[in-house]
Structure 1
Amino acid sequence: MDIGLLYPTRDCGEDDFAALCRRLDPAPGLDFAYVEGDPGAGLDAAAAVRVLGTPERLIAAADTFPAVPDVVSWACSSCSFTHGLDGARDQARALTGHLGVPASSTSLAYLAALGRLGIARVTLASVYRPDLTGAFADFLAEAGVTTVHAVSADAGSDRALAGWDGRRITELAVAADHPDAEAVLVPETALHTTPLLAELDERMGKPVLTATAVTVWDALGGAPAQDGLGTLFSAGPGLRPPSSSAS
């Protein structure tokens, strides 16, 4: 299977997606296309990411894949959840309608992963500003998922986040943990989390769902059960085709 990922910033977290795909058996093919534009001038953070995630921009980027992939995902958390649940589904529908293949996004992938694991109460280890963290909590609430606690690191650009090491990512997850949460969510696709997947779950004693992991797992329609990649990948596939994220 070939996965096509739409990505917001060149040379940030693509190598983490590639590292995760290499650890899967069978390993999927992986291509990236980049959503062009600099919509941030004069806009607050939430408005800027909403502009970047318009269906028109996603379709234009999808046309730059070297070949039509078997499945496509908008691999950006904030640019999907700030559109709300209906808006995220609209993004996926637009891509499916244009390319004729199943489509999803990181935000929709989170919902699929939480559904597969039967999780309804989470805490957010967020790198965003508090307003964007709140927007993600609102998105989850639309799908019936309760955020019991959240931390907001207000960490800056994708390029800055791509430089975070494992210690810093782990510290964020630990700071976000809450005894009432069934899982810790780390919603940022620029972070390099693949080497930490099993370690984070063990450290926290619960699933730690990273943006890279849920995006790839969901694009595969739920990957075959595999060891060493945390709870989500050991759970095996769900009962849905990957296109159902767009419904």
Structure 2
Amino acid sequence: MPQQDTAVSVGFIYPDHAAEHDYPYAEKLLGGAARLPVEHIYGTDLHAVPELLDLGSPARLSEGAAQLAGHSPAAVVWACTSGSFVYGWDGAHDQVEHLSRAAGGLPASSTSFAFVRAAEALGVRTVAVAASYPDDVADLFVDFLGRGGVEVVGMSSADIVTAAEVGRLSPDDVVELIVSRDRREADALLVPDTAMRTLALIDILEQRLGKPVLTANQVTVWEGLRLAGVTPGVPGLGTLFRRKGT
């Protein structure tokens, strides 16, 4: 008889298409500790407040939760930073509560909360932000972090209008965008766009900067695993994943 797959499943709702290949990359590094299925919802990929509010709406997240049901996940995460923090701290809590209900009561979270909890797990209090968004959207992320007790000592935005453009950045462009926006006084550097391909670059970035680097898809995977009770130490995904049990 074939051996039954007993790995825990953590489901991710991902908007459109850009950097979703980060999730099978992380699954491979996990070495069988978990499955990370991704289902997509679709909307306009503009980094603009009205479009982001629509993208993270209850109807769209319910659609994503329904698609994930076939994977029997132990937890679900809305893998979109801007489509969660754009609702504000309280609204993002309501968004996650709705997602949990839509997923049949499963533990649920979003990338924005993943950043706050990852910073807390590492004891990070001050951060620099290397955002790909326009300024007005990036400022909302700064406000969100502040509500979570994370002080932003430097924020730079690349003013990239769509997620698709972010997804097409080369690895060299991604590294340069991130490294050039560090602040010496920051405990860590945060990179908030799940459309940016970063997982294969985190160790390189941390070696260049000499501090933790928290990227959107990295913290999203970590948060989903945390909710599912899986906390493995994993090489290749930065300081956050080397701290087993966080």
TM-score, structure 2 normalization: 0.90
- Residue of structure 2 aligned with 1:15, choices 21, 39, 59: 21
Which residue in the other structure is 1:64 paired with?
Answer: 67
Distance 2:220 2:67 in 1: 20
Are 2:45 and 2:164, in contact at CA under 8 Å, matched by a contact in 1? no
User: For each residue in 1:189-239, what CA deviation from the matched residue of structure 2 results, as whole angstroms up to 9, or x when unmatched?
Assistant: 11111111111111111111010100001100063112232110011232x
Of stretches 188-197 and 220-229 in structure 1, the one that deviates more from structure 2 is: 220-229
The residue that corresponds to 2:100 in the other structure is 96
The 3-state SS of whatever aligns with 1:63 is helix
Counterpart CA distance in 2 for 1:145 and 1:92 is 20
1:46 has 2:45 as partner: no
* Residue 126 of structure 2 is aligned to residue 118 of structure 1: no
Which structure 2 residue ranges, 5 or more long, are not aligned?
1-7
Match of 1:228 among 233, 236, 240: 236
Larger mean Cα displacement after TM superposition, 51-60 or 197-206: 51-60
Amino acid across the alignment from 1:31: P
Task: Pick closer, same or farther for the CA change 1:46–1:230 going to 2, 3 Å.
Answer: same
CA displacement, residues 2-45 of structure 1 (integer Å, 9 cap, x when unaligned): 121111113x21111111121113342122222234496xxx81
Residue 60 of structure 1 aligns to which amino acid in structure 2?
A: E
Over the matched positions of the two proteins, sequence identity in percent amounts to 38
TM-score of the two chains, using structure 1 as the length reference = 0.89
Whether 2:197 is the aligned partner of 1:192: answer: yes
Following superposition of structure 1 onto structure 2, how do residues 200-211 of structure 1 map, counting pairs within 5 Å?
A: 200-211=205-216
1:61: Cα distance to partner? 2.2
Equivalent residue pairs, number: 234
Cα distance in 1 between the residues matched to 2:129 and 2:188 = 9
Larger displacement relative to structure 2 (90-99 or 101-110): 90-99
Structure 1: which 5+ residue stretches go unaligned?
239-247
SS in structure 2 opposite 1:237? Answer: coil
Counterpart Cα distance in 1 of 2:45 and 2:126: 34
Contact conserved, 1:39 with 1:51, CA < 8 A, in 2?
no
Q: Is 1:36–1:61's contact at 8 Å kept on the other side of the alignment?
A: no
Q: Which amino acid aligns with 2:213?
A: V
Cα gap change, 1:131/1:235 in structure 2, threshold over 3 Å: closer, same or farther?
same
Match of 1:243 in 2: none
Q: Specify the alignment match of 2:4 in structure 1.
A: none
Matched, 1:2 2:5: no
1:67 shift after superposition: 3.5
Q: Is the 1:5–1:75 contact (alpha carbons within 8 Å) kept by the matching residues of 2?
A: yes
For 1:24 and 1:223, the matched residues in 2 are separated by: 10
Q: Which moved more, 1:120-129 or 1:150-159?
A: 150-159
1:128 & 1:116 partners in 2: Cα distance? Answer: 26
CA distance in 2, matches of 1:36, 1:226: 31
